[in-house]
Amino acid sequence: MPAHQHTVRRCTPAKILGQLLPACWLSILFFITPAASADIATDILHSAEQLGQWPHDTEITVKLLGNAPDPSDCPHAWTMQLQGNERWQGRVNIHLICPDNPHTRWLSVLITVHAPVVVVRQTIRRGDSIVATALTRESRDITWTQAYFTDPAKVIDAVARRDLLIGSMISPADLSPPLLIRRGEQVLLRADHAGITVTDVGTALNDASRGEAVRVRHSRSGHVVEGIAVDQDIVALPL
């Protein structure tokens, strides 16, 4: 196999995917020993595992897009630097520096990432609250995106902003925060002042998420008041 086509695969556990590295040059991240290009791909893979922060059961593939450095160019080891606006995902340009002489070069690699992400199992309609039974997790190619979820718990109870079709990945742009108040349902009106809390009940006239305004028809007087959604079925009124 030509030097520029070596590929290495590895499954690794970690925390969350897609964290950007600091916006600066990261010097002396790791070293490439004078060896074959397959060993270089392995060195890069190990660094991606350590610095990329991947979800559990991620498969990472590293492919060299150019010729591997000639071992004779650097008798000991290359110091490798990754530009700050790069991340261990997609096409990555790595700066190689030889400590024995001023010779430097660039190496391009393709880091492909497949990870288990949240996928729609049952069609979800716009405006619906998302339930656990409508979700599943599948391994998908997420090399070119950060717009996904790996934990279904982060999605449950959120509201769909558009129709979500079976098999599609869910991104943050697809969701609105969970509704605390639903139109037509009874809510608790609460007013706090000087350590004293006064409560009453009413009927919500609109849906609302946390921090959003809610119009409520007072159950006894019939007057409409406006407050803020602060918890499930609880509306705070200003005094």
Q: What is the pLDDT of residue 95?
A: 79
Q: Give backbone dihedrals phi and psi of 43, rounded to 5 degrees, phi first.
A: -60, -45
pLDDT, one tens digit for every residue, the chain (239 residues): 333 333 333 333 333 233 332 222 232 233 444 444 556 677 777 766 666 566 667 888 888 887 777 767 777 677 777 665 567 788 888 877 777 767 677 888 888 889 999 999 999 999 999 999 999 999 999 999 889 999 999 999 999 999 999 999 999 999 999 999 999 999 999 998 888 999 999 999 999 999 999 999 999 999 999 999 999 999 999 87
Q: Give backbone dihedrals phi and psi of 49, rounded to 5 degrees, phi first.
A: -60, -40
Q: Which amino acid would we find at residue 192?
A: D
CA distance 228 to 180: 10
Q: What is the pTM of this model?
A: 0.66
Q: What is the pLDDT of residue 40?
A: 67
Encoded tokens for 181 = 């108040």
Contacts of residue 215, Cβ cutoff 8 Å, sequence gap at least 6: 204, 205, 206, 224, 225, 226
> Cβ–Cβ contacts within 10 Å for residue 198, how many?
11
Helical segments of the chain, H only: 37-52
| Of 37, 200, 220, 18, nearest in space to 113 by CA | 18
